[in-house]
Chains A and B, each alone.
Chain A
Amino acid sequence: MNLFRLLGDMTHLLSIIVLLLKINATRSCRGVSLKTQELYAIVFVCRYLDLFTNFISLYNTVMKVIFLGSTFTIIYWMRFHKVIRVTYDRDQDTFRYQFLIIPCLLLSLILNSEFTVMEVLWTFSIYLEAVAILPQLVLLQRTNNIDNLTGNYIFLLGSYRALYILNWIYRFLTEPNYRQYLVWISGIVQTIVYIDFFYYYIRSWKNNEKLSLPA
């Protein structure tokens, strides 16, 4: 565990807390993509199957449970909470899951480090995480109504990815034989996905304007 990894995980955790607080405090999930949240739920379930088979540390176990629990809480609120679900932008959040899930699944069947159920699902989760934010970004662009908290949520998620890249560089330099090419490439792709958003986020912050993405 190095500082970049810890900061990355904490930023990831903070992003989810921001989203939970926003939805809970405003009783509204306007601007939040249920598709992205459900893709993250798939990512976490597929990746954390090893909760039952492979104990790494108490820290890892606790964080995994928090990520799973918080994501399912958000999905539950957006689908079933009698006040919150009414505020969901159902008609705008139309990105199709299969466009992301099927290519990632096929890729994980071809490109993996071991052809076992656990390993293929783990690899699938790595690929899917790289693109899971896309429905959220599309929704933002469509509604063009980005409140600060939703903007901060996405900014924190992007920051978490950038910190993970620093973590990999640090580990590569300090741990002998540390290599994980599939994770690195997916992680870099995932971070690139945020660059456009970062540009507009920082620009709006510098100009003290409300964040909006060009159509």
Chain B
Amino acid sequence: EDVDFGHDEL
């Protein structure tokens, strides 16, 4: 599950 990662980047 990669939903949480990446969304903290711009």
When distances are taken between beta carbons in the complex, the residues of chain B under 8 Å from A119 are 3
Q: Answer yes or no: A89 CB below 8 A from chain B CBs.
A: no
Interface size on A, residues (CB 8 A): 23
- Cβ A180 vs Cβ B5 within 8 A: yes
Of all chain A residues, the one with the shortest Cβ separation from B9 is: A5
When distances are taken between beta carbons in the complex, the residues of chain A under 8 Å from B2 are 113, 179-183
Of all chain B residues, the one with the shortest Cβ separation from A48 is: B10
- Cβ B8 vs Cβ A60 within 8 A: yes
When distances are taken between beta carbons in the complex, the residues of chain B under 8 Å from A182 are 2
Give the interface size bracket for B toward A. Answer: under 10
- Cβ B7 vs Cβ A67 within 8 A: no
- Cβ A12 vs Cβ B5 within 8 A: no
1/0 per residue, CB under 8 A from B, across A50-66: the answer is 10001011001001100
1/0 per residue, CB under 8 A from B, across A161-186: the answer is 00010010000000000111111000
Which 6 pairs between the two chains have the least Cβ-Cβ distance?
A180-B6, A180-B2, A183-B6, A180-B5, A56-B8, A113-B3
Q: Give 18 CB contacts A-B under 8 Å.
A: A5-B9, A9-B10, A50-B7, A60-B10, A63-B10, A67-B10, A113-B1, A113-B2, A114-B3, A119-B3, A122-B7, A164-B9, A167-B9, A179-B2, A179-B5, A180-B5, A183-B2, A183-B9
Known: A113-B1, A114-B3, A180-B6. 15 other contacts (CB 8 A): A9-B10, A50-B7, A54-B7, A56-B7, A56-B8, A60-B8, A63-B10, A67-B10, A113-B3, A122-B7, A164-B9, A167-B9, A180-B2, A183-B2, A183-B6
Binding site for A on B (CB under 8 A): 1-3, 5-10
Binding site for B on A (CB under 8 A): 5, 9, 12, 50, 54, 56-57, 60, 63-64, 67, 113-114, 119, 122, 164, 167, 178-183
